[in-house]
């Protein structure tokens, strides 16, 4: 019986075992770990209780104050300062200050800090994003992060794996966000609980790394422990470009692929050749419908950004729709690039000017309103259409507000009309 890619990566990192199976508990070496300005302060406090004089590896820890920065109040300022002070004290090289930082799940792969074949843990549930590189990446609690920062190891329960096979060529305006929303609508928000989602199929040949990051990012929205895609030529191209541009400390990596006789707990196939852009209604990412079934839903705010859809290709799609157009009266359009380099490229390519001329605001990299942080909180009764990953009750502000999830093209089109709109309808 063969192993799938997730099992191969876990076995390669496991301490003291020569074989594994789903359900086994293992201790495994971790290649990279990170925390943000919400989760890392707790991890730092727990780390100090261990009385350690050094971290396991100063180059393999990242501290990214991305949720509330620039600081929205005194509490958020103090939390960010705790990260900065800890990084200085222990010589952590990958601390990212405002002006250098970005949303962690876009920033770290952009800079080539995460590699195919890695085990990556982050004190944030959307750490599964990085499985798009062909790595095992999963979110953990702050106490687990503290242990990894100290010892470079973490315990895992080997997950079962669900294989998702996407077939066909996507239509215009359909991307990775739509594919994963479609799958979540099928699986439900707990259908993959504590399982790995292995994303495959010939449809991936038409998807960039940005689209693949979006898909793995939302694996957690089906309850999954991780999302993962086998590396291919597109992955290698992305890694070579990142390593050449940013010259990270680590440059060599190992590619793992599933055996032909690997075992899966479930295999689901989706023909996406006729799929329309997908929108998730409040208050679950699994409440999915084709965009045209929600065309009468009016919105107050449109948000384009986040670790799901704040990359340069997302901004490019939105700018193409918004160019030489104005957003509807009474609509707020908030655009947040995911990293500082994406911000700079959007300015260079003229996307930022397009957004501003359309009547939107172009903000500094941040998680912003995605988690109800700042830069776009909703009032009672308001409706938002967002390219973010969650639409739970109160996620973006008032518990009596409403969030719809969609891809960047749908979001841009909807800002122009003031209601949920298929881009082709423009």
Give DSSP secondary structure letters for 318-377: HHHHHTT--PPTT-EEEEE-SBHHHHHHHHHTTHHHHHHHHT-EE--SS-GGGGT-SSSP
Quick check: is 100 in a domain? Answer: yes
Q: What is the DSSP string of 60-83?
A: SEEEE--SSTTTSSHHHHHHHHHH
Q: Tens digits of per-residue pLDDT, 380-409?
A: 999 999 999 999 999 999 999 999 999 999
pLDDT on residue 1 = 77
Average pLDDT over residues 162-180: 96
Q: Are residues 338 and 247 in the same domain?
A: no
Last residue of a domain, one of 268, 294, 311: 268
CATH of the domain at 176: 3.30.499.10
Quick check: is 240 in a domain? Answer: yes
Q: Is the pLDDT of residue 305 over 90?
A: yes
Q: Tens digits of per-residue pLDDT, 99-154?
A: 898 999 999 999 999 999 999 999 999 999 999 999 999 999 999 999 999 999 99
Q: Are residues 192 and 315 in the same domain?
A: no
Domain span at residue 343?
278-420
Q: Are residues 247 and 326 in the same domain?
A: no
Last residue of a domain, one of 234, 268, 302: 268
Please report, for residues 389, 392, 394, the alpha-carbon distance to residue 128 in angstroms, rounded to integers and kept in the order given.
12, 19, 23
Torsion on CA atoms 254, 259, 264, 268, rounded to nearest 10: 90
Quick check: is 273 in a domain? Answer: no
Q: Are residues 254 and 392 in the same domain?
A: no
Q: Are residues 153 and 173 in the same domain?
A: yes
Integer Cα distance of 145 and 35 in angstroms: 8
As for how many domains the chain has, the answer is 2
Q: Are residues 306 and 235 in the same domain?
A: no
Structure tokens at 226: 């991780």
Quick check: is 220 in a domain? Answer: yes
Structure tokens at 294: 């929600």
User: pTM here?
Assistant: 0.95
Integer Cα distance of 16 and 231 in angstroms: 27
Q: Tens digits of per-residue pLDDT, 183-224?
A: 999 999 999 999 999 999 999 998 999 999 999 999 999 999
Q: Are residues 181 and 138 in the same domain?
A: yes
Provide the percentage of residues in the chain whose pLDDT is more than 70.
Answer: 100
Q: Tens digits of per-residue pLDDT, 258-273?
A: 999 999 999 999 999 9
Q: Are residues 324 and 228 in the same domain?
A: no
Last residue of a domain, one of 242, 268, 294: 268
Q: Are residues 31 and 63 in the same domain?
A: yes
């Amino acid at each position: 019986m063969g192993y799938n890619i997730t099992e191969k990566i876990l076995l390669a990192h496991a301490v003291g075992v020569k074989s594994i199976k789903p359900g086994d508990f293992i201790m495994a070496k971790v290649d990279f770990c990170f925390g943000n300005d919400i989760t890392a302060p707790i991890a730092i406090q727990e780390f100090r209780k261990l009385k350690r004089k050094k971290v396991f590896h100063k180059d393999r820890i990242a501290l990214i104050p991305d949720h509330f920065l620039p600081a929205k109040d005194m509490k958020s300022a103090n939390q960010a300062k705790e990260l900065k002070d800890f990084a200085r004290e222990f010589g952590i090289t990958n601390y990212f200050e405002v002006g250098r930082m970005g949303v962690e799940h876009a920033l770290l792969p952009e800079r080539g800090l995460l590699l195919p074949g890695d085990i990556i843990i982050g004190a944030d549930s959307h750490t599964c994003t990085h499985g798009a590189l062909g790595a095992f990446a999963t979110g953990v609690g702050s106490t687990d992060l503290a242990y990894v920062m100290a010892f470079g190891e973490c315990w895992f329960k080997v997950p079962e794996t669900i294989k998702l096979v996407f077939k066909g060529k996507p239509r215009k305006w359909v991307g990775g966000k739509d594919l994963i929303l479609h799958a979540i609508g099928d699986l439900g928000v707990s259908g993959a609980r504590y399982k790995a989602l292995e994303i495959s199929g010939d449809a991936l040949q038409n998807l960039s790394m940005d689209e693949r990051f979006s898909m793995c990012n939302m694996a957690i929205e089906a309850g999954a422990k991780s999302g993962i895609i086998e590396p291919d030529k597109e992955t290698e191209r992305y890694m070579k470009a990142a390593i050449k541009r940013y010259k990270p400390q680590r440059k060599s990596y190992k590619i793992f692929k599933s055996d032909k006789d690997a075992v899966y707990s479930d295999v689901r196939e989706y023909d996406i050749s006729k799929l329309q852009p997908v929108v998730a209604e409040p208050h679950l990412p699994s409440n999915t419908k084709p965009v045209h079934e929600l065309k009468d839903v009016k919105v107050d705010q449109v948000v384009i950004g986040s670790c799901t859809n704040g990359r340069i290709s997302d901004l490019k799609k939105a700018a193409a729709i918004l160019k030489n157009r104005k957003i509807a009266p009474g609509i707020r359009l908030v655009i947040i690039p995911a990293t500082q380099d994406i911000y700079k490229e959007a300015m260079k390519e003229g996307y930022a000017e397009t957004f501003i001329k359309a009547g939107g605001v172009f903000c500094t990299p941040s998680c912003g309103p995605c988690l109800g942080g700042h830069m776009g909180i909703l009032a009672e009764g308001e409706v938002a259409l967002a390219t973010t990953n969650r639409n739970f009750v109160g996620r973006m502000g008032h518990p009596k507000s409403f969030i719809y999830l969609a891809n960047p093209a749908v979001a841009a089109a909807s800002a122009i009309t003031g209601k949920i709109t298929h881009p082709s309808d423009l």
